């Protein structure tokens, strides 16, 4: 195995772990109603589709939605398991 190939494989594993950590921060932020933790999971140009909760474009629109959640939902418990993450590139 060439060093370059090994570097790529390690990078892929690090990318997958970063995605898992992001999902965990998203869930914790939502469940703990931690606005900065939740909103920090999104880029400035993010798009969030919450089905019946609506569709929001941009971090600030997502922040506005998050602030209104207590009016619509008294609690939340998120669990994410068995990730299927494919890295291309």
Q: Per-residue pLDDT tens for 33-89?
A: 899 999 999 999 999 998 998 999 999 999 999 998 876 666 678 888 888 999 987
- Asked, for residue 40, whether it belongs to a domain, the answer is yes
- Asked, for residue 10, whether it belongs to a domain, the answer is yes
Choose between 16 and 72: higher pLDDT.
16
- Asked, for residue 80, whether it belongs to a domain, the answer is no
Q: For the chain, how many structural domains are there in total?
A: 1
Predicted pLDDT at 71: 64
- Asked, for residue 26, whether it belongs to a domain, the answer is yes
Is pLDDT of 1 > 90? no
Nearest to 76 by CA among 43, 32, 40: 32
Triad 53, 57, 75: Cα angle to 5°: 30
Predicted pLDDT at 40: 97
Which residue range is the domain that position 8 belongs to? 3-72
CATH number for the domain spanning 43: value is: 3.10.450.50
Predicted pLDDT at 28: 94
- Asked, for residue 27, whether it belongs to a domain, the answer is yes
Using a 10 angstrom Cβ sphere, with 0-12 exposed, 13-18 middle and 19 or more buried, the burial of residue 42 is buried
- Asked, for residue 48, whether it belongs to a domain, the answer is yes
Whether the full predicted model's pTM is greater than 0.85, yes or no, is no
- Asked, for residue 22, whether it belongs to a domain, the answer is yes
What span, in angstroms and rounded, lies between the C-alpha atoms of 74 and 46? 25
DSSP 6-48: HHHHHHHHHHHHHHHHHHHHHHHHHHTT-HHHHHTTS-TT-EE
Segment 1-15 shows an average pLDDT of 93
């Amino acid at each position: 195995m060439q060093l370059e190939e090994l570097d790529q494989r390690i990078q892929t594993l690090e990318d997958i772990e970063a995605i898992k950590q992001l999902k965990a921060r998203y869930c914790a932020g939502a469940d703990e109603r931690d606005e900065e933790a939740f909103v920090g999971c999104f880029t400035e140009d993010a798009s969030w589709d919450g089905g019946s909760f609506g569709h929001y474009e941009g971090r600030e629109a997502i922040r506005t939605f998050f602030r209104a959640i207590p009016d619509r939902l008294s609690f939340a418990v998120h669990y994410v398991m068995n990730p299927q993450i494919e890295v291309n590139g």
